[in-house]
Amino acid sequence: PVVNGSVYSYANSKVDTEGRNRTEIREITSLRLGASLQLNNKNRMDVEFFSSHAEQDDGDRQAVIFRSDTVDEPVTYDNSDPQKPVVTFANAFYDPANFNLNALEREFTLNTDEDIGARLDMYYDYSNNTQVQYGLKLRQREKVNDYNFCAYEPLNDIALSSVANTRAPAYFNTLTGPTPTFDQVKGFTGGLGTSQFMLSDGTTCLGAGTAFALSGDEEEESIPADWVTEEDVMSAYLMA
């Protein structure tokens, strides 16, 4: 960049503008049951059972990315007021006709967390001054992350100006550029095919149809992001 005081200028710039349409669902359920039982004058027993289930369902997420050509005009970053920096784009970046669709991305994620267990605590009054405590705890936990990434690239140019677009309000003193509308983002999925494309782990993406081609990143983005963790705990204690 060219630096002039607190102003930074970047020449020969290129800009991406992205729109997202996402639905995220969170669900948590839990159950805890317990009792404290006085067995006799010297012995007491506490028992507890617990179970929980958490689910993070992000199975309906779409994003579209429009990209400009390189423009021989600077983008400037003014840090005169560090609490309210100002980014100024070249005029070309405020015109939706200068952006073409670069990619359509779809993500499907289901993350679950199952936890179940029980504990038993015993108390024995050995004397007036001494109590013996001993107990046992069992716990099983499993976390699963199932992630699937599908991406498509258009076969022909689709200008942002040819689809529904909008502009977000200014951020402090920075004017934002055009972006596809919320509904338009999901509308692009209507151009995909109806067949299924299977990845090597058995998960699937919609076929690219006649207007798009698969990006080729599906395997390396999807498969490493799938994981399962299991935790089994058994513990006992004795104290006085």
- What local confidence, expressed as pLDDT, does residue 30 receive? 96
| Token code pair at residue 138 | 């069992």
Which tokens in the block code for residue 203? 């998960």
Q: Residue 231 — pLDDT band, cuts 50, 70, 90?
A: very high
* For residues 141-167, average pLDDT: 95
pLDDT in tens, 36-80: 999 999 999 999 999 999 999 998 899 999 999 998 888 999 999
Residue from 197, 183, 192, 184 nearest 154 by CA:
192
Inform me whether the pLDDT recorded for 129 exceeds 90: no
Residues in a beta bridge with 20: 63
Which residue in this structure is represented by tokens 């600077």? Answer: 74
Q: Is the pLDDT confidence value at 200 over 90?
A: no
**Residue 41 CA to its chain's centroid (Å):** 55
Give residue 152's Cα distance to chain centre.
20
CA-CA distance, 204 to 76, in Å (whole number)? 43
